[in-house]
Structure 1
Amino acid sequence: MLTTRVLRSLYSTSATISNHTLIQFHSFVCFFLFVYCCMPPFSQMFQKEVIESVMDITLSSAEGTCADVETVSIADLGCSSGRNTLSVVENVIRTVCERRREAMRQLPEFMVFLNDLPSNDFNALFSLVPEFEQKLKAEHDDGGGILVSVAGAPGSFYGRRFPSSSLHFVTSFTSLHWLSQVPAGLLNKGEPINKGNVYMSPASSPSVVTRYFEQFQEDFSMFLRSRSQELVVGGRMVLSMLGRRSHDIHKKINEFPLYEALSKSLSIFVSQKMIAEEKVDSFNFPLYTPSTQELEDQVYREGSFTIDSMKQYYHDWMFENAPNVLSKTFRAATESLICHHFGEEIIEPLFETHTRVLYERLMAGEGIGWCQITVVLCKSATR
């Protein structure tokens, strides 16, 4: 994991809003999200639920895309480095091979690209590859064997990462809701316009919500343009991200309460004079949870893909220990950024308060779930 010192330097530099630094800032934030998804025992529940909810649609998409390809190229964007990293790719390969065998056809070769940030622990990830390859070879050794080549592809996915028309299948889980930067325009003549919030919330002004939406439009369009050049015609992407159920961007509801609970926790600290109010007002997360309509609109406007399917899931964690579990996974994802902005000494009491706020929400019957959107896109022949 990166040191706090490196993250502090990064976060400070991101305030200059240069394109290179902002992409790197996005990348480091994504890195911490995926780190927490691999930290037992708290986040494994979250990760397992996300993967299981989209596995069927992932495998059916891979089956249709790779049916007639001799060398199948797969890219996993935001792969992380834990033991669950290769599970989705493993199941995709297994499904394609089973369908080829049922049709009495020769098994394809596989080229797997694992994409994450340069700071990702690729050494730990690659140490898992020999076992991964041997397992697949043992399952599908019919005399001719199976060839699976694995390569790292470090860098942000907000931009080109692979050669033109080189990919057949792309997956990305729990990553695309992160923006490439904190939206510009959250300061008006040096004054913050999202006071008391760390993300857009029911308490945020319409202008704040608009700034976040505009940044999402810019980033997601860049992502689609980049992938449209890298995928072959007919290639598919399975993308799963946090989202929201309401199509009304300005509707005063909160569908992902972990950030609002953090805002409330910080406001308690302000009232107790443990944190300066100005510190809270100047802190915002680079995150956007789109609706299905917003995703559909962006796909249509970019024009390179058709939507095979789009599903929305709601995970409502109403069990007694849910606040503790979610607060710990949230802490793992955000701690370094919070440490830099507010100081390390605040972390323990802040997340104790965060857990308590979530418990209060749960006891009030409000729920502490989240919305997840999975979309399957097919590269069209129009571009």
Structure 2
Amino acid sequence: MASQEIRKVSEAYPMKGGDGPDSYAKNSTYQREAMESVKELVTKGIAEKLDIDLLLPSNSFHIADLGCSVGPNTFSSVENILEAVELKFQGQGLMNPRISSSFYGRLFPSASIHLFHSSFALQWLSEVPKVLEDKNCPAWNKGRIHYLSSTDEAVRAYKAQYAKNMESFLHARAQELVYGGLMVLIIPGYPQGTPLSHSVAYLTLRLIEACLIDMVKKGVISEEKLYSFNIPMYSMCPQELEAVVEQNGSFSIETLETLPRVLADDAVLNAKQFAAHGRAAFEGLIKQQFGKKITNELFDLYGKKLEEELSMFKPRKTTSFLVVLKRKEK
């Protein structure tokens, strides 16, 4: 009888959904003001009563909002709680719980995730191979910013870093996925047997490299800064992915499909738009290495070089792969 009454209550009083003029989302300012009015009290309660020692073993912090509607108020209240928890951690000299971590390590509790999705992220390495910055090593990448136009030693260093990263990625996800869970991945790369010099990535990075060399010649950036700059990005082929999955042993490859896309004259193949895409992807790395002041000049120069050599991009293809991995049963 009690459970029937609970079901009746839960089904009888839902708030009005959607975002229309009569929706709860647009007509719940009173509730929002109430939450804001107790923000200081909530912060004080968490600061004084929350036992951090209970959270540390699991390396995670879970919040559940128990309400009866949808809308922005939930986000505001949870945001207030997160801020209070951050202050609690900082007050005890602990790491901020909201600092993001690398996906090449553990992120979630064991067997807590049913499906992972990652799109255009796994081409980024966790770090640049150290040997590329060692002047006494054959892999020293003097004057080059990537392995695509470099020596065999530099290529091998990038390959080794990729294999190391992917093993760490698969090992972490294997622990976090439930048995039978899936990973859906879209990874940019290149078909086996295709020269890397034929790829769009090669041309893009070659032009950025040429711009940086021009700026060294002008005295805008130092030669030393250029020699120590390498982009931590790797283009894999399907066979490399298959090899690391097999070596890890925790996943079966359910799907592995090539998704080719030819650059279109009217849409993607536009110098201004292409330059903007390049800036969005690489500006953060440029700022970190060379400082903010040179970014406008660099990408203006990059845009001009693109206009001059845009025809070179026409026969090139951008290739990515759809991969579905399934966590094997025990």
- TM-score scaled by structure 2? 0.64
Q: CA RMSD in A?
A: 2.8
Give the letter for the 2:209 counterpart.
S
Secondary structure of the corresponding residue to residue 236 of structure 2: coil
Letter in 2 for 1:187: E
How far off its partner does 1:171 sit?
Answer: 0.6
Q: Distance in 2 between matches of 1:247 and 1:295?
A: 15
Residue 252 of structure 1, CA deviation: 5.0
2:157 aligned with 1:228: no
Contact 1:258 1:327 in 2 (8 A): no
Q: Which of the numbers 99, 109, 115 marks the counterpart of 1:169?
A: 115
SS class of match (1:199) = coil
2-structure distance, mates of 1:290, 1:358? 25
Quote the offset at 1:165 in angstroms: 1.8
Give the match for residue 214 of structure 1: 160
Deviation at 1:361, TM superposition (A): 2.9
Q: Among residues 258, 261, 271, which one is paired with 1:323 in the alignment?
A: 271
Alignment of 1:320-359 (within 5 A): 322-359=270-307
1:109-132 deviations in whole A, cap 9, x for unaligned? Answer: xxxxxxxxxxxxxxxxxxxx847x
Larger radius of gyration: 2
Match of 1:241 in 2: 187
Provide the C-alpha distance between the structure 1 equivalents of 2:104 and 2:262, rounded to a whole number of angstroms: 31
Q: 1:368 to 1:327 in 2, by over 3 A?
A: farther
Question: Which letter does structure 1 place at the counterpart of 2:300?
Answer: E
Superposition map of 1:46-65 within 5 A: none
Who is 2:142 aligned against?
195
Which position in structure 1 is the counterpart of 2:233?
287
Q: Which residue of structure 2 lines up, in the alignment, with residue 67 of structure 1?
A: none
Distance 1:372 1:153 in 2: 30
Provide the aligned length of Structure 1 versus Structure 2.
235
Q: Which residue of 1 aligns with 2:124?
A: 178
Q: Deviations over 1:14-63 (max 9, x none)?
A: xxxxxxxxxxxxxxxxxxxxxxxxxxxxxxxxxxxxxxxxxxxxxxxxxx
- How much has 1:276 moved relative to structure 2? 2.9
Report the 3-state secondary structure (helix = DSSP H, G, I; strand = E; otherwise coil) of the residue aligned with 1:193: coil
Counterpart residue number, 1:378:
326
Distance 2:288 2:108 in 1: 34
The alpha carbon displacement at 1:279 in A equals 2.1
Question: Which structure 2 residues correspond to residues 26-41 of structure 1 after superposition, within 5 A?
Answer: none
CA 1:367–1:268 in 2, change beyond 3 Å: closer, same or farther? farther
Give the aligned residue type for 1:306. S
Determine if contact 2:192/2:239 at 8 Å carries over to the other structure.
no
8 Å contact 2:186–2:320 — kept in the other structure? yes
Structure 1's 154 and 251: CA in aligned 2 closer, same or farther, altered over 3 A?
closer
Segment of structure 1 superposing worse, 366-375 or 349-358: 366-375
Matched, 1:302 2:248: yes
Is the contact between residue 308 and residue 376 of structure 1 (CA under 8 Å) also seen in structure 2?
Answer: yes
1:198 deviates by: 1.4
Q: Could you tell me whether the CA contact under 8 Å between 2:263 and 2:314 is conserved in 1?
A: no
Task: Please give the residue correspondences for 1:13-24 in structure 2 after superposition, counting only pairs within 5 Å.
Answer: none
Letter in 2 for 1:284: N
2:306 matched to 1:362?
Answer: no
Deviation at 1:300, TM superposition (A): 0.7
Does residue 157 (structure 1) correspond to residue 103 (structure 2)? The answer is yes
CA shift, 1:207, in A, is 0.5
Q: Structure 1 residues 153 and 228 mapped into 2: Cα distance closer, same or farther (>3 Å)?
A: farther
CA positional deviation for 1:199 = 1.4
Structure 1 gap segments, 5+ residues each: 1-128, 134-151
Residues 251/259 of structure 1: CA separation in 2 closer, same or farther (3 Å cut): closer
**Shift of residue 278, structure 1, vs aligned partner:** 2.7
Give the secondary structure class of the aligned counterpart of 2:243.
Answer: helix
Q: Is the 8 A contact 1:153 1:161 kept in 2?
A: no
Q: Kindly report which structure 2 residues correspond to 1:247-262, keeping only aligned pairs within 5 A, or say none.
A: 247=193, 252-256=197-201, 257-262=203-208
Say if 2:199 and 2:317, in contact at 8 Å, map to a contact too. no
